[in-house]
Amino acid sequence: MRITIDGVTTEVDGGTILDAARQMGIDTPTLCYGDTLTPVNACRVCVVELEGARTLVPACSRRVEDGMVVHTDSERVRTSRRMVLELLGSSVDLSTAPDALAYVDRYGAEPARLGTPPAPAPRIDNDLYVRDYSKCILCYKCVEACGVDHQNTFAIAVAGRGFDARISTELDVALPDSACVYCGNCVAVCPTGALMGKTEFDLREAGNWREEEQAQVDTVCPYCGVGCTLTLHVQDDAIVKVTSPDDHDVTRGNLCIKGRFGYRYAQNR
């Protein structure tokens, strides 16, 4: 199929407009999109202008059709993205969302003109990860990861409607009373730090989270025989976070409780 993006025509084998743009080296912003997740079209930051279409279309989920002509950086697109970022930035604390902050900068968004985000409100109900919904942009990624896309535990969903919409466990119970199995696959996909490992949370509180100094070393999980790749995030000769690469065919970025949080034994010596 042929598609023209920003004046350049190229051949692609299906996929989405986002796939085509990335193939051409065009950096289209995304927040709710995940490489390993089904697109839910929630954040609207990836919208592009498609000739012949009345509205802007989400690049992350719109399939390429032969002969499409797309503009990813038109004034209409920039205005829309700026507005989306101002709405997000005025209602959500983006301080631990590096991608969103970069987009705010790129599109000259001024969230402050619409309001002030809420104060932090961390919920600490276990020793493995912390939830702070003042930082949640309702991108649904955690819900998708906990649901059919990966974990199939269904411990969380979107509760409420409109301004009351929020991510919640069943009846809003604390995590230890919920169906959560602490795989942390929701933490892995969260783009804003609303979900954060407890170790990272504590280090940030202490002013000692130094991400730029951290080494990332790939190894294999020391527990069962499935062979999950672990990326160890190391600061001051200690593991401070564990992730797995999205493109690792065994895990697709997912781990279980032992792989993601069971590392502490090595440091209890």
Partner 1 sequence: MFGAGGGTSSYEETRAADLIVLWGSNAREAHPIFFHHVLKAVNRGAKLIVVDPRRTPSAQWADLWLGLDVGTDIPLASAVAREIIEAGLTDEEFIARATSGFEAFRESVQPWTLDEAERVTGVPAGAIRELAHAYGEAANAQLCWTLGITEHHNAVDNVFALIDLALLTGKVGKWGCGLQPLRGQNNVQGGGDMGAIPNRLPGFQEILDDAVRAKFDAAWGSTVPPTHGLHLSGMFEAMEHGDLRAVYVVGENPAQGEADQTRAERLLTGLDHLVVQDIFLTRTAQLADVVLPAAATLGEAEGTVTSSERRVQRVRKAYDAPGEARDDIEIVYALARRLGHDLGSPRAEDVWNEVRSLSPMHAGMSYARLEELGGIQWPCWDENDPGALFLHGRLWDEVVADRAPFQVVEHDPPVDLLDDAFPLRLTTGRRLESYNTGVQSGGYSSPLHRGGADILLAPEDGARYGVADGARVRIVSRRGSVETSARYDPTLRAGLAFMNLHFPDEVATNVLTIDATDPKSGTAEFKATAIRLEPVA
Smallest separation, CB 259 to partner 1 (Å): 7
Q: Which is nearer to partner 1, 112 or 181 (CB)?
A: 181
CA distance 18 to 60: 5
* x/- track of binding to partner 1 for residues 209-248 (CB under 8 A): ------x-xxxxxxxxxxxxxx-x-x--xxx--------x
Q: Phi-psi category of 115—alpha, beta or left, where left has phi over 0 and alpha has psi -120 to 50? A: left
Q: Which is nearer to partner 1, 76 or 210 (CB)?
A: 210
Smallest separation, CB 66 to partner 1 (Å): 28
**Coil/strand/helix, residue 98:** helix
Smallest separation, CB 69 to partner 1 (Å): 35
Smallest separation, CB 36 to partner 1 (Å): 11
Q: Where are the alpha helices (DSSP H) in the chain?
A: 17-23, 75-91, 98-106, 141-146, 185-189, 198-205, 257-261
For residue 63, give the DSSP letter.
B
Amino acid identity of residue 82, one-letter, is R
The most distant pair of C-alpha atoms in the chain lies apart, rounded to whole Å, by 65
For residue 175, give the DSSP letter.
G
Q: Which is nearer to partner 1, 96 or 151 (CB)?
A: 151
Strands 2-5 and 68-71: parallel
Amino acid identity of residue 170, one-letter, is E
Query: Using CB atoms within 10 A of its CB, is residue 33 exposed (0-12), middle (13-18) or buried (19+)?
Result: buried
Q: Which is nearer to partner 1, 101 or 257 (CB)?
A: 257
Residues 48, 56, 183, 188: which binds partner 1 (CB under 8 A)? 183
Q: Which is nearer to partner 1, 55 or 268 (CB)?
A: 268
Query: Using CB atoms within 10 A of its CB, is residue 239 exposed (0-12), middle (13-18) or buried (19+)?
Result: middle
* x/- track of binding to partner 1 for residues 157-176 (CB under 8 A): ------------------xx
Q: Which is nearer to partner 1, 117 or 245 (CB)?
A: 245
Q: Which is nearer to partner 1, 79 or 216 (CB)?
A: 216
Residues 96, 169, 243, 254: which binds partner 1 (CB under 8 A)? 254
Q: Find the Cα–Cα–Cα–Cα dihedral 133, 136, 141, 146, rounded to 10°.
A: 0
Tell whether residue 123 is a contact of partner 1 (CB under 8 A): no
Residues 33, 107, 182, 209: which binds partner 1 (CB under 8 A)? 182
Amino acid identity of residue 139, one-letter, is C
- Contact residues toward partner 1 (CB under 8 A) are 126-128, 148, 150-152, 175-176, 181-183, 215, 217-230, 232, 234, 237-239, 248-252, 254-259, 261-266, 268-269
